Chain A
Amino acid sequence: MAERKPSKSKYTTDRQIPGAFEGETVTRRRFMTGSSQVVGAVAAGAFVLPAVGFALGPVFEEKDQPWQPVGRLNEFGKDTYVPRTITIEPSIADAGLSTVYVRQYNPSVDKEPRDEYNAYVAISTACMHLGCPIHFVTAAQRFICPCHGGVYDFVGKVVGGPPVRPLDRFYTRVAAGTVFIGPRFSVNSELQRFSPRDPGEPLDGVGQYLYPSRPTMRKLPGT
């Protein structure tokens, strides 16, 4: 098939464009179009990028997780949980408080190795289905979630309902006869420690890779 248009030289001087320079290949019209598009993109980027960064910033922010005292050593037994209130989020007053269930490490039920952070076991009250507040029913020795029927046994492992992993825990440590509650961590069904995850995110199998933890919130080094 014959070419419909005669092929044009890439040099503007050959194309008889008025005012063309020797060796010039980009017409002034094309240069003007391109440069105004670049200027427009820079102007749009100048407000879009800061706005996006501003909205996404909190995702990468460090969160302060101070150790909080919850009571004297003798307030917590081996065989039942004692509820204590800690501050999860100080900026919203009462709405930022949360209950944790605390008891002593009990060798007859706790199989995970002893270390400096689990002389006392502190269980988070966020249900691992979707985050509703669970409570401990002493008669049944079970944690029960009121929202969708999640049930956990005495150590927080799932025994019924929709939750995808055992209840989260908090690091604890003992200083000057007082129990302190520290950062939260998540556990898989073997009760191995993982960096904290949100509810609804399983940690068995590939779960820990499908649901990455926050880059700024990790489990304590060496645990």
Chain B
Amino acid sequence: MAKIKVPAPPVPGALAPTPKRPGKEYGPQTPVEHGHEGASTAIGWIDERTSLSGGARWMMFRKVPKGTNWFYTLGSATMFAFLSQAVTGVVLAMYYVPSANGAYNSIRHINNDVFLGEFVHGMHRWGSSVMVILVFLHMGRTFFFGAYKYPRELNWVIGVALLILTMTMSFTGYLLPFDQRSYWASVVGVNINGTGPLVGPYLSDFLRAGPDFGATTLSRFYAIHMLAVPGAIAALIGFHLYLVARLGTTAPPWIRAKTPDALREDKVRA
């Protein structure tokens, strides 16, 4: 790979590295220089043993096509929505009790008593809608910019899998507060699953862990919501990003490749 020159970030003058003056001692002198030295030593130690810097540079310093615009940030926005769901979900799990008799009270405790509880719960709850909306906007961008075409079809397929997993998260998460709304919404949702011919009845029995909503239904939804699906989503996002870096992004459809005048069809024919 060609060596890439990393542009220096703008820093205040006091922090900018200065050329060494004659007669100055070798090595870092000021605290800032010591900081630089320490950081690069630590990073060098890791890189010597893992060679991760090549991969990181390959991932981060990519060429992007002309015309790249704000629409290209929707994928990252979706990923950050997922990360926000992951972080708030982990801390909510510290207070949440996944039992039919304790779930509603634990949610009430989170909302009413826990410091920032209502805020974090609200982030998770509204964030889930934000994530679904962003997924669809990202999908729309990909569709209308033609970014699903060769060679990026597999990335579209992975994206659809991620969309389905996101829907699974929304469905399983909805039951967890275990209030009237979530209970009956999940009854309806499970019965919609059941309307699939032949496999439907078994699928809804699997989701409910039996013929009726019971104590294990909630723990089952909880396990799917916080263990099975997030792992799959994280893994697929990794692969999705790998393919983005591997294949590059597409230019918007209104950007045309410049053809040399001599090669234009009418000129060649003439």
The CB with the most chain B CB atoms within 10 A, among A55, A92, A217, is that of A92
In the assembled complex, the CB of A51 is this many whole angstroms from the nearest CB of chain B, namely: 11
In the assembled complex, the CB of B104 is this many whole angstroms from the nearest CB of chain A, namely: 9
Cα–Cα, bound, A58→B211 (Å): 9
Return chain B residues, CB-CB under 8 Å to A201.
194-195, 200-201
Return chain A residues, CB-CB under 8 Å to B171.
none
A58 & B191 in contact (Cβ 8 Å cutoff): no
Return chain B residues, CB-CB under 8 Å to A61.
210
Residue A131 CB within 8 A of the other chain: yes
Cα–Cα, bound, A59→B206 (Å): 6
A112-120, A149-157, A208-216 - interface stretch? A208-216
Q: Quick one: which of A199-223 are within 8 Å of B by CB?
A: 199-201, 210-214, 217
> Within the complex, which residue of A55, A92, A132, A217 is in contact with B188, where a contact is CB–CB below 8 Å?
A132
B100 & A92 in contact (Cβ 8 Å cutoff): yes
Number of chain B residues close to chain A: CB under 8 A: 29
B11-19, B24-32, B212-220, B255-263 - interface stretch? B212-220
In the assembled complex, the CB of A139 is this many whole angstroms from the nearest CB of chain B, namely: 25
Return chain B residues, CB-CB under 8 Å to A89.
212-215
In this complex, the interface size class of chain A, counting residues with CB under 8 Å from chain B, is 20 to 34
A96 & B212 in contact (Cβ 8 Å cutoff): yes
If the complex has contacts A59-B205, A197-B201, A212-B198, are A92 and B215 also in contact, measured as CB distance less than 8 A?
yes
> Within the complex, which residue of A58, A59, A92, A210 is in contact with B197, where a contact is CB–CB below 8 Å?
A210
Residue A41 CB within 8 A of the other chain: no
Write out, one digit per residue, whether chain B residues 93-113 have a CB within 8 A of any chain A CB (1) or not (0): 000000011000000000000
In the assembled complex, the CB of B182 is this many whole angstroms from the nearest CB of chain A, namely: 11
> Within the complex, which residue of B183, B202, B216 is in contact with A95, where a contact is CB–CB below 8 Å?
B183
In the assembled complex, the CB of B257 is this many whole angstroms from the nearest CB of chain A, namely: 42
B210 & A63 in contact (Cβ 8 Å cutoff): yes
In the assembled complex, the CB of A167 is this many whole angstroms from the nearest CB of chain B, namely: 14
If the complex has contacts A91-B100, A93-B100, are A58 and B209 also in contact, measured as CB distance less than 8 A?
yes
Return chain B residues, CB-CB under 8 Å to A132.
184, 187-188
> Within the complex, which residue of A93, A130, A133 is in contact with B191, where a contact is CB–CB below 8 Å?
A130
B101 & A93 in contact (Cβ 8 Å cutoff): yes
Residue A88 CB within 8 A of the other chain: yes
Residue B154 CB within 8 A of the other chain: no
Residue B172 CB within 8 A of the other chain: no
Q: Using CB atoms, name the residue of chain B closest to A200.
A: B195
The CB with the most chain B CB atoms within 10 A, among A133, A198, A214, is that of A198
Residue B192 CB within 8 A of the other chain: yes
Return chain B residues, CB-CB under 8 Å to A42.
none
Q: Quick one: which of B155-212 are within 8 Å of A by CB?
A: 178, 183-184, 187-188, 190-192, 194-195, 197-198, 200-202, 204-206, 208-212
Residues of B within 8 A of A (CB): 100-101, 178, 183-184, 187-188, 190-192, 194-195, 197-198, 200-202, 204-206, 208-216
User: A89-B212, A92-B214, A214-B201 known; 18 other A-B pairs, CB under 8 Å?
Assistant: A56-B206, A63-B210, A91-B216, A95-B178, A96-B213, A96-B214, A130-B192, A132-B184, A132-B187, A197-B201, A198-B191, A198-B204, A200-B191, A200-B192, A200-B194, A210-B198, A211-B200, A212-B201
Residues of A within 8 A of B (CB): 55-56, 58-59, 61, 63, 88-89, 91-93, 95-96, 130-133, 147, 196-201, 210-214, 217
